């Protein structure tokens, strides 16, 4: 058996990225991707150690934002587009945390899916 030489991990210098924020009533999930869609960083309230109802709070969301912003600065990301999805309380807190850490937010997009009349309603209840 021959020894395989392990290649060194290349550090990428990325100028701009997209932050996909999915905020539900129970949790806030953030994924930072390149403009092509390759995931660079991920974060959630559960990953930070919040449990139960505290995962859905604005404070937990701001903690996610500040930690991800620190990691983004090491990658060289300065410009950020933010896609917000869902009705949760953490939507605004994540954006505020990104801004306060010195990132320039160029686009705020709401990508929450809305039904165009949705599925068929359940049958009427007979009493």
Query: Over the chain (127 residues), what is each successive 10-residue block's mean pLDDT?
Result: 72 87 95 94 94 94 95 91 94 94 94 91 92
Residue for token pair 């930690």: 67
Q: For the whole model, what pTM was predicted?
A: 0.83
Fold of the domain built from segment(s) 16-110:
Nucleotidyltransferase; domain 5 (3.30.420)
* pLDDT at residue 92 in the model: 92
* pLDDT at residue 41 in the model: 93
Phi-psi region of 13 (alpha: psi -120 to 50; beta: other; left: phi over 0): beta
Query: Would you list the domain boundaries of the chain?
Result: 16-110
């Amino acid at each position: 058996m021959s020894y395989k030489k392990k290649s060194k991990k290349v550090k990428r210098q990325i100028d701009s990225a997209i932050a996909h924020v999915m905020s539900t009533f129970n949790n806030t999930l953030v994924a930072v991707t390149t403009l092509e869609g390759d995931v660079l960083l991920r974060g959630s309230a559960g990953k930070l150690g919040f449990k139960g109802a505290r995962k859905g709070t604005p404070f937990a969301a701001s903690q996610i934002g500040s930690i991800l912003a620190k990691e983004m600065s090491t990658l060289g990301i300065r410009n950020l587009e933010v896609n917000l999805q869902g009705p949760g309380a953490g939507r605004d807190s994540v954006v505020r945390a990104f801004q306060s850490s010195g990132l320039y937010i160029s686009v705020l997009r709401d990508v929450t899916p809305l039904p165009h009349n949705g599925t068929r309603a359940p049958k009427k209840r007979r009493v």
